[in-house]
């Protein structure tokens, strides 16, 4: 079943987390308009996942991106890669990177560098997308010629990408409210490798302390804590806990006494007439006081 949408409604980190939780296998098509004045001029990116793990990414579908990346680094020429892929049986059902490693043409550390350049950097840069279109399509055959053989869970990719993100404008509306708190979704410690600041904020995920107070206690900016909170939320470790209303009601009851409502006295339909004798006596009384 394919999934279509717009990043204005569903951000890429949220989408990747959804695909990870569902253990999806397929290709995520991302379409961006590079020039608003020329909608036909579009940029295309592709991210392949296997059971929720990111295995490859590219801006092309001819399975030549990884080969060019290796050749540009001067590790193995395109000609040698082409020759080896035709004579070695491992290329029938194994990723290109692992096959080259089995032939002694690349090393394990080089594959890590390739995965970082091919997957992590471009995918993390795509987190700044706000108005692009996406389409996820399930597939049975992965592009072996575009794969290093390494993979990473989409959740881990999200954490790495959001930690490195400098421009948060595309995700500004997704950040939690500073007056909200965090509630942990599990009593167990996270299995994800959190950094020091993420651990500190996660320890406050009890729904009792607002994010702005957490920032004050940890001596961090509120903006930093909101971004950390978003990371914890989007990877499924916590949820936003709205605590403003619950905190304000008891304070009002204790500090502000209840004021009784006094109904206005209705005016009679006909005002009673003042007698002439009353006015005469009142004038006489006032004269005697002034005399």
DSSP states of 171-190 as a string?
A: GGGGSPPTT-EEEES-SSPP
3-class state of residue 25 by DSSP: coil
Does the structure show a pLDDT above 60 at 96? yes
Residue 269 is predicted with a pLDDT of: 45
Tell me which long-range contacts 188-197 makes (C-beta under 8 A, separation of at least 24): 190/237, 192/155, 192/156, 192/159, 192/235, 192/237, 193/156, 193/159, 194/159, 195/163, 197/224, 197/228
CA 111/CA 105 separation, integer angstroms: 11
Q: Which domains does the chain have, with CATH numbers?
A: 3-164 (no CATH), 175-242 (1.10.10)
Does the structure show a pLDDT above 80 at 274? no
Sign of the torsion formed by the C-alpha atoms of 55, 59, 65 and 68: negative
Mean pLDDT, rounded, for 251-269: 42
Least confident range from 50-59, 181-190, 280-289: namely: 280-289
pLDDT-above-90 percentage for the chain: 65
Mean pLDDT, rounded, for 257-262: 41
Residue 280 is predicted with a pLDDT of: 53
Residue 24 is predicted with a pLDDT of: 95
Residue 185 is predicted with a pLDDT of: 83
Residue with token string 């579009």: 42
For residue 151, what are the CA distances in angstroms to 31, 38, 86, 103, 209?
A: 23, 36, 25, 20, 37
- What does pTM read for this prediction? 0.78
Mean pLDDT, rounded, for 112-117: 96
Choice between 99 and 267, residue whose per-residue pLDDT is larger: 99
Residue 52 is predicted with a pLDDT of: 95
Does the structure show a pLDDT above 70 at 257? no
Choice between 279 and 25, residue whose per-residue pLDDT is larger: 25
Residue 34's pLDDT band (boundaries 50, 70, 90)? low
* Residue-wise pLDDT tens digits, 223-244: 999 999 999 999 999 999 887 5
Q: Where are the alpha helices (DSSP H) in the chain?
A: 12-21, 65-72, 78-87, 96-102, 108-115, 121-125, 154-164, 196-202, 211-218, 222-234, 244-255, 276-290
């Amino acid at each position: 079943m394919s999934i279509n949408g717009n990043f204005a409604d569903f951000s890429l980190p949220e989408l990747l987390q959804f695909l990870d939780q569902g253990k999806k296998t397929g290709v995520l098509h991302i379409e961006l308009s590079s020039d608003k004045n020329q909608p036909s001029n579009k940029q295309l990116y592709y991210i392949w996942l296997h059971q929720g793990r990111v295995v490859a990414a590219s801006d092309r579908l001819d399975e030549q991106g990884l080969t060019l990346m290796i050749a540009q680094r001067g590790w193995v020429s395109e000609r040698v890669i082409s020759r080896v892929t035709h004579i070695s049986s491992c290329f029938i059902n194994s990723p290109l990177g692992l096959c080259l490693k089995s032939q002694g043409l690349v090393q394990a550390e080089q594959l890590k560098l390739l995965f970082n350049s091919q997957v992590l950097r471009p995918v993390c840069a795509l987190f700044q997308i706000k108005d692009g279109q996406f389409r996820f399509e399930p597939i049975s055959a992965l592009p072996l010629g575009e794969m290093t053989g390494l993979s990473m869970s989409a959740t881990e990719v999200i954490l790495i990408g959001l930690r490195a993100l400098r421009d948060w404008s595309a995700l500004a509306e997704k950040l939690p409210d500073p007056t909200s708190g965090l509630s942990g979704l599990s009593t167990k410690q996270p299995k994800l490798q959190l950094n020091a600041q993420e651990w500190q904020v996660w320890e406050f995920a009890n729904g009792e302390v607002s994010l702005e107070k957490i920032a004050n206690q940890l001596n961090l900016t509120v903006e930093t804590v909101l971004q950390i909170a978003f990371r914890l939320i989007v990877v499924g470790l916590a949820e936003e806990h709205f605590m403003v209303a619950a905190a304000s009601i008891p304070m009002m009851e204790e500090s502000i006494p209840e004021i009784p409502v006094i109904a206005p006295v209705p005016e009679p339909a006909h005002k009673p007439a003042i007698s002439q004798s009353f006015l005469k006596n009142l004038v006489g009384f006032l004269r005697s006081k002034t005399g």
